[in-house]
Amino acid sequence: MSALADSVPRTRPMKESDLERVMAIEKAIYTHPWTRGNFVDSLKAGYTCHVMEVSGEVIGYGVMMIAANEAHLLNLSIAREWQRHGYGRSLLLHFVEAARQAEGQQMLLEVRLSNFVGRSLYFSMGFCSVAIRPGYYPTKQGREDAILMGLNL
């Protein structure tokens, strides 16, 4: 197989055995990471939990809940050393497609006000600001607002 084919990302359902790697990424990129229990609960609840692999290595993942034709993206993460190579956009596109296939009509997500990278990714994919959720996220100093963003599917 060529080196180019090796770098093509592949997505697949997350397994409990992925959680060690997932937690290592999570703890490295967030000030307030999800716990292992949050991922276990999401898997048990039947949420759409998928990982992205490159050459067999998990480099990112996401978690999406779908109910009543509404998809809610709860987590979208790319390992720090794999960021800025287009994988985040590709993973988001994967979840948008999954939401469409599940006949979702709208996709929603929250993003920290200070998360310019995430906001810029979502805006560039057609998401619009829907509302502000005051004090939604914890910070080291206190609380931070979230922007609720939405995409019509």
| Structure-token pair, residue 55 | 């050459």
29: phi then psi, degrees, rounded to nearest 5: -110, -10
Nearer to ligand COA, 66 or 146 (CB): 146
Distance CA 62, CA 89 (A): 12
φ and ψ of 81, to 5 deg: -70, -10
**Cβ-closest residue to ligand COA?**
88
C-beta of 116: minimal distance to ligand COA in Å?
6
State the nearest-atom distance from the C-beta of 138 to ligand COA, in Å. Answer: 14
CB 146 within 8 A of CB 112: yes
Closer Cβ to ligand COA, 27 or 103, answer by number: 27
HSE at residue 145, side-chain half, CA atoms within 13 A, is 9
Q: Which residues bind ligand COA (CB under 6 A)?
A: 29, 76-78, 83-89, 111, 115, 117-118, 120-121, 124
Q: How far is the CB of 90 from ligand COA (least distance, A)?
A: 7
H or E element in which residue 61 lies: strand 57-67
Closest separation in Å from C-beta 45 to ligand COA: 20
Cβ proximity to ligand COA: between 103 and 124 the closer is 124
With respect to ligand COA, which residue has the nearer C-beta, 66 or 76?
76
